[in-house]
Amino acid sequence: MRTIRGLESYPPDAGPTAVALGVFDGVHLGHRAILARAVERGRQVGVTPVACTFDPHPLEVLQPDQAPVPISDLEERLSLIADTGIETTLVLAFTAELAAMAAEAFVKEVLLDRLQAREVVVGFNHRFGRGARGDPALLQALGERLGFQAHVVPPLTVEGVTVSSSGIRKALQEGDVERAARWLGHPYTLVGVVERGAGRGHGLGFPTANVRPTRPPLVPTGVYAAQLLLGRGVAAPAVVNIGVRPTFGESRLVVEAHVLDFSGDLYGQTVRLALLRRLREERRFPDVDALRRQIAADVAEARRQLGAADFTSP
């Protein structure tokens, strides 16, 4: 997939398109339905399927105090969008100037004049333009007037609940990573660089990779059965602790992964931790021996739960 950052970088001779428009935070099942419709329409009418997304999240500009922690960072989002068959993604910087653009002007100047959209696909609740005045009804009316087809994808439900980024975020905040994964269509993943830690895990007999995540975890502190993913298709089961290590009287949040059945130097490497199940809450132990016994039990439980897991890249 080709990624273009900034409207000024979009080539004027790229040709007509079918555009999926949205933030696509997490690229959940509802987003995938929107992106898949754009791919389908592009193939049917012989134009390029394009995703048009925004960074940062619009609320970071419009209402920074209410802006959500992203489910996925931009690079993850782009990778997940690429998996849907979209051929080009345009990343628009969401600025105060863009937010002030009228909905009609956005359609004409961005979607039609620059992207040459013949088809535009949005979700049922998508809003755009100054004051969020643009909605699917306005988009369809503009399509009839300006000569493009507007498609509105209805809500997608799983287990009787409409899939949404806010609902997924709530599930994650409750520690229910399995429910979040069912709505995302893939596990919730933390991405970060492995750095050197205090070496306590090695002293306990369970060496850990200390991961500095690119964004704050949305999940509560606790111990998780997980999958560690590296480049080159390397994947291994892991036990991940997200917390402040209260047994040692610390207060800084850390992410530590004890990788099962793996040998190799991870320092300085970027890894992905796909959280598959929450095993327990974080708690303080009376002494190091009690902590060591609990870690051994966590490893055994992770092996039991993940023994039949499919360790393919999410």
Residue where the block lists tokens 């997940």: 80
State how far the Cα of 241 lies from the Cα of 263, in Å rounded to an integer: 19
The reported pLDDT for the residue numbered 170 is 97
Condensed to tens digits (0 to 9), the pLDDT of residues 210-241 reads: 999 999 999 999 999 999 998 767 789 999 99
Condensed to tens digits (0 to 9), the pLDDT of residues 168-179 reads: 999 999 999 999
pTM metric for this prediction: 0.91
Which residue from 157, 183, 186 is spatially nearest to 171, judged by alpha carbons?
183
State how far the Cα of 146 lies from the Cα of 67, in Å rounded to an integer: 34
State how far the Cα of 190 lies from the Cα of 252, in Å rounded to an integer: 17
Question: What is the band of 308 on the pLDDT scale with cuts at 50, 70, 90?
Answer: very low
Which residue from 175, 164, 168 is spatially nearest to 219, judged by alpha carbons?
175
